[in-house]
């Protein structure tokens, strides 16, 4: 079975919305739309030539709980139905509240509109809301919209904080945006006695026949308090993860709306999120719609193939739902639609129904699409087909929870029979000899003398290994085999598995270790893990692992697993394999790939010894010894005025920090979000209004495992250490932070306190130069730019904003940002200059391009990331992005070093242009960097040997238009230069 990686899209997060006419033809134009025989009976159109079919084999799985859609192109006509969108068709422009909690990035009021249940609004100091003293939130839309429904998603922490009673109101008066009691507010809905059954649960509420309003208010008049289980300390607190406005697509027919929602309220069949469908019948008579859930597949079918999914229609009118597949011949031609037979059974409303359809008759064909079809020949006006689909797959897993294993739980028996290679027992064909292996299905477990590890960890086979004294449980060993056909191996990227274990686990395929958790100290079979390894505390752990296709064999493959204890007093053990399924999606890097020590994991040596980054940033000494540039490294007296500041570094911080209008300013919110999150995630908007959300959703859905592994840590960390490289330089330079030196405005200082007091207190004693956040931002931003070089100017400009936001919060000076950029640039360069690590980067680049291109095609917005990005609004136009990036290289500071010096490119910097200029030689790429460098003498310009990172304008170099000439010269952006980057001729 091909199966999507089992990663939740996130509770309550809408990853795709279908609005009729908004997505273009997309995949809909890929096939004719003559009715099929199967479609005629239901009034649904499909590809030409398709006849009623039954049967099938195995294929891929799209799991609505972990979807990949960014929008779902309509297939065929939509009749007499309009689809509900997941949110209003206009954008929330502003969010206001009397308790905004502005200084918290993850708990501020703006988080209500981000459709991300990982963030929330905590109404700090609100007290328990009442009718007399309610707590309000007001959305202002860009343009008026009629809201036909809305949803609320509970936040983490405690149930007593949940809203329990509220009123939804609408207004068209701009005065209402700032006044929750304005008389123009109209009541649209009232709710009382509401409950959320789980954290991150989304509840839905309809609104009948509303007019279009520009302002909407959620007026909360009670929380759950003592009516919900939890601490009394939470009774006077209020929190909410999301408030999402919803509307229908209009009065004309449009495709059934599809989105991914938190499905805890419906008891999701698999995971907390599921695919939600919703629409409304316009008039009595036939109503239908077909929506593509997954396109771009290429999955072979065989005799045992089945289509299975779980469906939960809300009512009888919502049960006219089925899934179809589009299949082709082996060459991708002659597409036909197959309406999978469900045996004539209609799903029962109000509960989860398991559907399984035989596809064996399609053996030899290949699945290219999965579609959701709604059709009701006798629909009633006003019917609202709504419901859920989850746990969708095609085929049979290679291994699943019911698999029978050979297992060993006899004390003091070595499964390797004493061989020097302790893993010999994991090889295919290993002679077990007289080792007493048993056979049984999983899951396996033991707890003291029983099997009660809790309701979430069922035990089918009890493990019986137990020593006579001490109550200790030893290691356990498991083996099983499965077969792979050549056609399957050619069609997949590999296998994805899910294993549950306690305390450690190691997974082998055909004698080779492919994954392990907590097993780093295990050296022999019959041993306990050492205290430095797993702790053994807590419940069994779920982990995912991958098997690359090249590691598989045609024919029989052997999977072996060993489970060890963390110490000699452990009283429980557990092993269960949920599934091992085939996939055509991108696989994560293996443990071996990420755990290998690469040459670039070792920092270069500083000339003369000492910390390398301290040496690399040594020009900071000149900067801090230049009084007009930097102030003395001590706090300024209280009451110091702006006019009394003599250093441009101080003045610039105050200018940037004082610019926002108040704590609710969007620039402040963005700075707080940047500071509280990983740069590679928050900088998604650097990809533009269309591609950026697709990238964010792909990350959240787990569809970019390679890119995420590198950007989230491996680029900047080593297998041996998670320490930050720049910290020693910070400790060595120890320049005080702006808010420490200049004080806060509420205490006769110059700095506006935009972050929480704790945020400032936590950094007050740490050095300011270089900026650690900025070094992360540039390391991740530069790497992301090299993975998507067509968008390098925008991505790098956004990376520069990430650094600039540290100045806005007054955590850093511009000089700190310059230093952080140098550290980030050097980090990225070392990785690209390392041939071994470069292979990881190249694989991440291919993954990113492939996944984003697919998501762009599904959204109907181009066939490549670059075309997709061009479809929407860019973060900045290219020219403006280049200007912004260049300005933030120096912030316009006066030059303090020798000017008119020749270009000086650091060794290895040319490798950062490998993807932007792949046809140029290394020497030519150095020439491009030299030709686009800024002039010498700037702050932090190192004018000695080794080149100057401060002068590198990477955005200009990556975006440069270059022509190579036979005489060895280049034309760079219209200027002819020699090998040193110096202009030649006119």
Asked if residues 733 and 769 have their Cβ atoms less than 8 Å apart, the reply is yes
Number of other CB atoms surrounding residue 8 within 10 Å: 21
Residues 758-780 pLDDT 10s: 999 999 999 999 999 999 999 99
Nearest-angstrom CA–CA distance, 372 and 289: 8
Q: What is the mean pLDDT of each run of 10 residues along the chain (986 residues)?
A: 31 20 20 23 22 21 31 57 64 91 90 86 96 96 90 93 97 96 97 91 85 96 95 96 84 78 72 78 91 78 82 92 90 88 82 88 87 92 88 81 93 90 94 93 92 92 72 83 86 89 94 90 83 74 91 95 87 91 87 93 91 96 96 95 97 98 93 95 95 91 92 95 93 97 96 94 95 98 98 98 98 98 98 98 97 85 90 95 98 94 96 98 98 97 90 98 95 96 86
CA atoms within 13 A on the CB side of 644: 9
Residue 231, Cβ density class (10 Å: 0-12 exposed, 13-18 middle, ≥19 buried): exposed
The CA radius of gyration of the chain, in Å to the nearest whole number, is 30
Query: Would you give the DSSP letter of residue 52?
Result: -
Number of other CB atoms surrounding residue 438 within 10 Å: 12
Asked if residues 577 and 499 have their Cβ atoms less than 8 Å apart, the reply is yes
Show the CA angle centred on residue 270, arms to residues 586 and 288, nearest 5°: 90
- Whether the CA torsion 180, 183, 184, 189 is positive or negative: it is positive
- What pLDDT, on a 0 to 100 scale, did the predictor assign at position 782? 98
Residues 229-238 pLDDT 10s: 999 999 999 9
Q: Is 420 helix (H, G, I), strand (E, B) or coil?
A: coil
Nearest-angstrom CA–CA distance, 22 and 926: 45
Asked if residues 11 and 202 have their Cβ atoms less than 8 Å apart, the reply is yes
- What pLDDT, on a 0 to 100 scale, did the predictor assign at position 407? 96
Nearest-angstrom CA–CA distance, 526 and 472: 12
User: What's the per-residue H, E or C state across 813-840?
Assistant: CHHHHHHHHHHHHHHHHHHHHCHHHHHH
Asked if residues 647 and 631 have their Cβ atoms less than 8 Å apart, the reply is yes
Query: Would you give the DSSP letter of residue 736?
Result: P
Whether cis (ω within 30° of 0) applies to the bond prior to 965 is no
Token pair 């270069």 in the structure block, residue:
604
- What pLDDT, on a 0 to 100 scale, did the predictor assign at position 404? 96
- What pLDDT, on a 0 to 100 scale, did the predictor assign at position 466? 63
The pairing of strands 366-379 and 299-300 is antiparallel
- What pLDDT, on a 0 to 100 scale, did the predictor assign at position 534? 65
Nearest-angstrom CA–CA distance, 58 and 686: 40
- What pLDDT, on a 0 to 100 scale, did the predictor assign at position 200? 86
The pairing of strands 135-146 and 212-223 is antiparallel
- What pLDDT, on a 0 to 100 scale, did the predictor assign at position 171? 97
Helix or strand run (H / E) with residue 871: helix 865-871
The DSSP annotation for 919-985 comes to TS-HHHHHHHHHHHPPPS--TT---STT--STT--HHHHHH--EEE-TTS-EEETTEEE-TTS-B--
Nearest-angstrom CA–CA distance, 130 and 899: 68
The residue among 89, 151, 94, 155 whose CA lies nearest residue 119 is 155
Residues 891-916 pLDDT 10s: 999 999 999 899 999 999 999 999 99
CA dihedral 902→906→910→913, nearest 10 degrees, is -90
User: Distances from the Cα of 936 to the Cαs of 79, 468, 616, 700, 889, in angstroms?
Assistant: 67, 77, 17, 43, 12
Asked if residues 683 and 796 have their Cβ atoms less than 8 Å apart, the reply is no
Nearest-angstrom CA–CA distance, 19 and 88: 11
- Whether the CA torsion 901, 902, 906, 911 is positive or negative: it is positive
Tell me the two tokens of residue 41.
């009976």
Which pTM value belongs to this model?
Answer: 0.84
- What pLDDT, on a 0 to 100 scale, did the predictor assign at position 134? 97
């Amino acid at each position: 079975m091909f199966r999507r990686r089992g990663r939740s899209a996130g509770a309550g997060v809408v990853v795709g919305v279908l609005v009729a006419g908004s997505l273009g033809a997309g995949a809909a134009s890929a096939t004719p739309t003559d009715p099929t025989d199967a479609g005629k009976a239901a009034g649904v159109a499909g590809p030409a030539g398709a006849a009623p079919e039954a049967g099938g084999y195995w294929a891929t799985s799209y799991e609505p709980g972990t979807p990949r859609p960014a929008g779902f192109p309509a297939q065929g006509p939509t009749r007499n139905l309009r689809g509900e969108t997941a949110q209003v068709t206009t954008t929330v422009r502003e969010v206001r509240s009397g308790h905004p909690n502005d200084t918290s990035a993850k708990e501020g009021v703006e988080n209500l509109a981000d459709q991300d249940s990982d963030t929330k609004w905590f109404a700090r100091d609100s007290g328990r809301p009442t009718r007399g003293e309610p707590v309000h939130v007001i959305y202002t839309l860009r343009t008026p919209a009629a809201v036909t429904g809305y949803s609320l998603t509970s936040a983490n922490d405690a149930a007593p904080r949940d809203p329990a009673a509220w009123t939804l109101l609408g207004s068209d008066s701009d005065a209402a945006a700032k006044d929750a009691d304005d008389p123009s507010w109209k009541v649209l809905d009232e709710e009382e006695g509401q409950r959320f059954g789980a954290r991150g649960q989304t509840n839905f509420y309809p609104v009948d026949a509303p007019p279009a309003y520009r302002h909407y208010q959620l007026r909360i008049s009670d929380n759950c308090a003592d009516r919900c289980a939890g601490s009394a300390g939470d009774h006077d607190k209020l929190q909410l993860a999301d408030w999402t406005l919803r509307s229908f697509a209009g009065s004309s027919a449009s495709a059934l709306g599809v989105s991914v929602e938190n499905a805890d309220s419906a008891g999701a069949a698999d995971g907390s999120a599921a695919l939600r469908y919703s629409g409304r019948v316009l008039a009595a008579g036939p109503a239908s719609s077909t929506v593509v859930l997954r396109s771009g597949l290429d999955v072979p079918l065989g005799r045992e193939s089945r289509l299975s999914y779980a469906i939960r229609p809300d009512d009888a009118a919502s049960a006219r739902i089925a899934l179809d597949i589009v299949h082709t011949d082996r060459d991708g031609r002659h597409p036909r639609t197959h309406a999978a037979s469900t045996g004539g059974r209609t799903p029962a409303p109000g509960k989860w129904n398991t559907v399984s359809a035989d596809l064996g008759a399609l053996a030899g064909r290949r699945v290219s699409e999965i579609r959701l079809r709604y059709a009701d020949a006798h629909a009633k006006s006003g019917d609202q087909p709504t419901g859920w689909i989850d746990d969708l797959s095609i085929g049979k897993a290679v291994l699943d929870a019911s698999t029978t294993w050979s297992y060993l739980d006899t004390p003091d028996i070595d499964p390797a029979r004493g061989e020097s290679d302790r893993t010999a027992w994991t090889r295919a064909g290993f002679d077990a000899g007289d080792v007493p292996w048993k056979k049984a299905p999983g899951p396996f477990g033991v707890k003291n003398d029983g099997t009660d590890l809790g309701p979430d960890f069922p035990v089918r086979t009890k493990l019986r290994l137990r020593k006579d004294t001490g109550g200790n449980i030893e290691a356990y060993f498991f083996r099983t085999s499965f077969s792979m056909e050549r056609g399957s191996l050619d069609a997949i990227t590999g296998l994805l598995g899910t294993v549950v274990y306690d305390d450690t686990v190691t997974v082998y395929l055909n004698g080779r270790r492919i994954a392990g958790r907590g097993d780093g100290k295990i050296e022999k079979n019959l041993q306990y893990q050492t205290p430095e390894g797993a702790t053994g505390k807590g419940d069994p752990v779920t982990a995912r692992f991958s098997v690359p296709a090249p590691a598989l064999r045609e024919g029989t493959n052997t999977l072996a697993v060993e489970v060890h204890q963390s110490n000699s007093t452990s009283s429980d053990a557990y092993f269960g394999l949920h599934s091992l399924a085939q996939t055509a999606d991108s696989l994560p890097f293996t443990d071996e790939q990420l755990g290998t020590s690469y040459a670039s994991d070792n920092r270069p040596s500083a000339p003369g010894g000492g910390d390398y980054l301290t040496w690399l940033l040594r020009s900071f000494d000149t900067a801090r010894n230049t009084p007009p540039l930097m102030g003395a490294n001590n706090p300024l007296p209280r009451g110091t005025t702006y006019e009394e500041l003599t250093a441009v570094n101080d003045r610039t911080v105050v200018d940037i920090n004082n610019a926002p209008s108040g704590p609710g300013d969007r620039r402040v919110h963005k700075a707080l979000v940047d500071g509280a999150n990983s740069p590679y995630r928050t900088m998604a908007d650097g990809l533009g209004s269309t591609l950026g959300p697709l990238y964010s959703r792909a990350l959240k859905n787990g569809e970019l495992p390679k890119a995420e592994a590198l950007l989230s840590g491996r680029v900047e960390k080593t297998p041996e250490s998670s320490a930050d490289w720049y910290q020693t330089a910070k400790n060595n330079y120890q320049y005080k932070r702006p808010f420490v030196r200049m004080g806060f405005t509420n205490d006769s200082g110059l700095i506006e306190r935009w972050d929480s007091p704790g945020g400032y207190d936590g950094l007050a004693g740490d050095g300011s130069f270089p900026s650690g956040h900025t070094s992360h931002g540039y390391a991740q931003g530069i790497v992301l730019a090299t993975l998507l070089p067509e968008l390098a100017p925008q991505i790098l400009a956004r990376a520069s904003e990430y650094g600039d936001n540290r100045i806005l919060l007054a955590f850093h000076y511009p000089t700190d940002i310059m230093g952080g950029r140098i550290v980030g640039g050097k980090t990225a360069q070392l990785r690209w200059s390392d041939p071994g690590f470069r292979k990881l980067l190249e694989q991440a680049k291919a993954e990113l391009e492939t996944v984003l291109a697919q998501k762009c095609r599904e959204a109907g917005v181009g066939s490549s990331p670059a075309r997709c990005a061009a479809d929407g609004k860019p973060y900045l136009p290219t020219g403006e992005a280049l200007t912004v990036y260049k300005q933030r290289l120096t912030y316009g500071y006066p030059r303090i070093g020798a000017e008119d010096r020749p270009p000086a490119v650091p060794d290895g910097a040319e490798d950062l242009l490998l993807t932007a200029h792949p046809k140029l030689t290394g020497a030519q790429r150095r020439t491009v960097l030299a030709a686009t460098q800024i002039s010498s003498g700037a702050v932090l310009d190192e004018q000695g040997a080794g080149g100057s990172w401060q002068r590198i304008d990477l955005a200009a170099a990556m975006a440069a238009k270059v022509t190579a000439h036979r005489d060895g010269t280049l034309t760079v952006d219209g200027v002819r230069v020699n090998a040193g980057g110096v202009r030649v001729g006119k």
